[in-house]
Structure 1
């Protein structure tokens, strides 16, 4: 039995972790949780006290937060070739965590209509929605992939943020974003992950109807 177990919901950020697991090519188990009480009970909160997905159990270790799961799997399974090489590390860490922090916050607040007043933008970690998009556009334009010439785990996370933002309309469809997302669509692991999550979502829908 695999030592890797993903706790997820196919309509959540757990899709990022599923994609990463498909990229590393190791066997894993999946526990799909409904939103609400199943994620808030004592059993699951012992795994993730936030009562949210995704969470990854690897033997006796637990990792939460999608960006952390991507980084952990890349480091733990180096044979997959998704961890950064020395010359890639700065951009790898810089942009993965930029996406997990400023991009995530800016896009979420923008979608909710929570725009900080201009005179208080310095109080917000990301500054403004536009400044975040400008920085992200430069990042995805410098190389074919976020850390350089090859695909890494950082592209799983950054690429998910870009693709979801484009899909849900929270990210302006700038040419650099659409070109980057299109490159990532060619990943076979992404296609497998989407197929698995889409099937799981359909099963959940049928079960609840």
Structure 2
């Protein structure tokens, strides 16, 4: 089934059909791999969710992380303006307050579950205005992306997390024990083609 939708220009042909990581390496002399093709019926190597201590899967949270968090720059700019008016947030925008960022004390209220405390390596990026390492949207902080160390507010940001610690139905490999945080973001740059606007970041 061809459902590719990525255009260079509106009148041009589609240029991307699928995008997914292929990773391999040696562990104790054994070649291991984690790959994904087209979500075909042959199986998959990745599962949704983060890894916690000793690269373990928080089994009770796997289904809850089968989700893509999305936010637009409109929500971000509204949030910034709200806080700058009187240093108080009047409108708790769900996409801002529910963002999966480190130490977000509002995450449970907007998502129905907690980010696992045992997780190492951080979560989605945000502008840490008070430099305390925690995401405080009630203090005017907001989601961002970083490019070469500089913060940017794209037109849209999408974030999800997945890992290869389960059964590898595609490659039949033993797990590598990796977690991947995927950030997709785009800029509405007038006069530029899509490939220059859309960026995909794997961490």
- Asked if TM exceeds 0.5, the reply is no
Q: Which has the higher helix share?
A: 1
**TM-score normalised according to structure 1 size:** 0.27
Rg (Cα) greater in structure: 2
